[in-house]
Chain A
Amino acid sequence: MTEIIGTKDLRMVYGNEDLRVEALRGIDLSIEQGELTSLVGPSGSGKSTLLHLIGAMMTPTSGEINILGQSIQSFNRLQLARVRRENIGFIFQNFALVPHLSALENVMLPLYPINPPNLEERATLLLEKVGLEQRLDHNPSQLSGGERQRVAVARALINDPSLVLGDEITGNLDSTTGKDIFDLIESLNKEGMTILLVTHDMSVADSCRRKISMQDGRLLLD
């Protein structure tokens, strides 16, 4: 099996001398292609921090991160942005859509600067895939919470990522809608997508084939 993510003794310290927060205290983690993994743990245990490091959004204090065989721990801002653009799809708790753009434009947005051919067609297909073919031109304010999160899922897929990361993606949704979104994620995984979800929702966590828990910046059980 191909390893998508690998970390070695990953540490993250926030703040300065006076106010040190050791958010991660040595994480060794490996996730392989096609896995659907959940990451649970109490608030403040470092789940989001780990997700952001894996998502190439920042660099760790020490340790190694490998994404598809690339060591990214000492990448500069531009290199990290390229890793995000080429390999990562991110879904946020609060949907994080741009309010004055339509659903279709929100899905296209990550690739606006490079404007690849057939961007609009690809975005349309993805919105069809998440069941929003009737909502292409709607703004986020005209969509329900579940529909917004579907748009966010489609946006995470626009760059054809090798890895989709989600932080509390059902956190702002009622349980039925949350279940629908998880079903969508599960179907993506069945098509072969590697997915890592941070969640407080035990039904989501338990439905994942692999479940990792964290406490105080360390992995508890795998």
Chain B
Amino acid sequence: MNPLFKFALKNLKKTKIRSLLSILAVFLGVLLITTLLVMTDSLVAAVDDSLDLLSGTVVLQQEDAVDPNFSIIDSRVIAELVAANSTGGEIEGTIAAYVPEIWHVEKSEAGIFGFLQVIGVQPSAERNTVGVLAAENFPQGRTLSDDDYNATVIGDSAAQLMNKGIGDTVVVNGQNIEVVGIFSTDSFLDNAMFMHINIVETFSPQYEDQEFISTILIKPVDLAAGGKIKTYVNDVLAAFRDENNDGITEEYDIEASDFEQIAEQGRQFLDITTEYAFYLGLISIVIGSLSVFNSILMGVLERKREIAILKATGWTDYETGLEVFIESLIISIIGGVGGLSLGVGIAGYFTSTSQFLSLVVNPITLVQSFVYAVLLGIFAGLYPAWRAMRIDPVEDLVG
């Protein structure tokens, strides 16, 4: 070990409690910034995965409904759309499928906040349910087929929460339904369970014979055509509403939206969140570095005489400053590495308890946290080092 480094370590050891406290301050600062940054990275990744799954899809939903669970629409609109599209026009041939879905919330102790998301679909519909039921999403069991009137597939997060596996039975709306597959998409849909729309339509009188449903997903042949389809569909919907509006019910007030807008808003929100998380972390690191500054400066002032002796025996100003500087770096690096490791650990714990987050450790984030810890250690060490450099060899020695 380099003797200068060893000497710096011994000086830190001499004031053990003070050194430990400033290590703790750096540790907590880096811990906070690492946890926040890793959490936002994981959040961004989860949202991106969800958006990828949904991008290009146009969603029909009751106007002003927050999500399909709060939406009831007239399913005859599908026939209208098909008819309108077959008359020719600019979007002919751009729509791959119209996918009706019924969304149902089941009270369940195993679900998030006591609720479980059930989605009724037509299993074989082309590019069904934003692709969740594609066979490659099933690491266990199988996907649904059109004659599965007593089967369900569940997302891996939901399976874990409900503690259910392939072959187990779940009770939904009083019916026993067998789990035949577990899928994984790394999106929020992994918290849901899917089953045949003919099962879900029996859960509530309003869905009987699928006269009314929750939502219709329109899948374009080419994802990029989503915007064009949305404009077209909104025109058809306006006519449909004018024709059927009875002034009382709202089942005809249907709105088409695509996920590009939602995606853009989501990304903007996450950008802002990341930025705030970063500043919050930065403040805590600054507090940590003030503590290092204080502790190292006190050390220099207390050791004035000793530093004068070092200089009398030939240490240069630079070497003296370097030794003090090394002390602040040791504190920052120990605190930084500790905070970084535990920060990733805590983020890992949080994401493991969350249903749709999985831990994303971006090396750039780690390097960033570490660099800030070291940089602020450097700032904390500069002034005390300079004070040490200015001490004269004869300070207090004149006898």
A residues lining the B interface (CB < 8 Å) = 48-49, 52, 55, 57-58, 77-78, 81-82, 84-86, 88, 90, 92-94, 96, 98, 100-101, 108-113, 115, 119, 155-156, 159, 167-168, 171
Measuring CB to CB, which residues of chain B are less than 8 angstroms from any residue of chain A?
2-4, 7, 10-11, 13-14, 305-306, 309-319, 322-323, 392-394, 397-399
Chain A residues with CB under 8 Å of B314's CB are: 81-82, 84-86, 88, 110-111, 159
Verify A77–B310 contact, CB threshold 8 A: no
Contact A81 B394 (CB under 8 A): no
Classify the secondary structure of B's interface with A: helix
| A115 to B, closest residue via Cβ | B3
Q: A48–B397 Cα gap in the complex (Å)?
A: 9
Q: List 25 A-B contacts (CB under 8 A).
A: A52-B398, A55-B312, A57-B394, A58-B394, A78-B317, A78-B318, A81-B317, A82-B314, A85-B314, A85-B316, A90-B313, A92-B312, A92-B397, A92-B399, A96-B305, A96-B309, A98-B306, A110-B315, A113-B316, A115-B3, A119-B3, A156-B313, A167-B399, A168-B399, A171-B399
What residues of A have a CB within 8 angstroms of the CB of B394 in the complex? 52, 57-58
A109 contact set on B, CB distance < 8 A: 7, 310, 313
Report whether A90 and B3 are in contact in the complex, using a CB–CB cutoff of 8 Å. Answer: no
Listed residue (B305, B316, B318) with the most chain A CB atoms within 10 angstroms of its CB = B316
Closest to B10 in A: A100
Instruction: Give chain B residues whose Cβ lies under 8 Å from the Cβ of A77.
Output: 316-317
| Beta-carbon nearest neighbor of A58 in chain B | B394
A residues in contact with B2, CB < 8 Å = 115
Of the residues A84, A108, A113, contact of B393 by C-beta under 8 Å: A84
- Complex-state Cα separation, A96 to B303, whole angstroms: 12
Complex CA gap A111/B392 in Å reads 18
Complex Cα spacing A182 to B46, Å: 79
| Distance A100 CA – B306 CA, assembled complex (angstroms) | 11
Q: Knowing that A78-B318, A92-B312 are A-B contacts, what are 16 other residue pairs whose CB atoms are under 8 Å apart, sorted by A's residue number?
A: A48-B398, A58-B392, A81-B315, A90-B312, A90-B313, A92-B397, A96-B305, A110-B315, A112-B3, A112-B7, A113-B4, A113-B315, A115-B3, A155-B313, A167-B399, A168-B399
> How many angstroms from the CA of A52 to the CA of B13 in the assembled complex?
32
B306 and A108 contact, CB distance less than 8 A: no
Is B4 a contact of A115 with CB atoms below 8 Å? Answer: yes
B residues in contact with A92, CB < 8 Å:
309, 312, 397, 399
User: How far is A185 from B356 in the complex, measured between Cα atoms in Å?
Assistant: 79
Residue from the set A48, A110, A113, A156 with the largest chain B CB neighbour count within 10 Å? A113
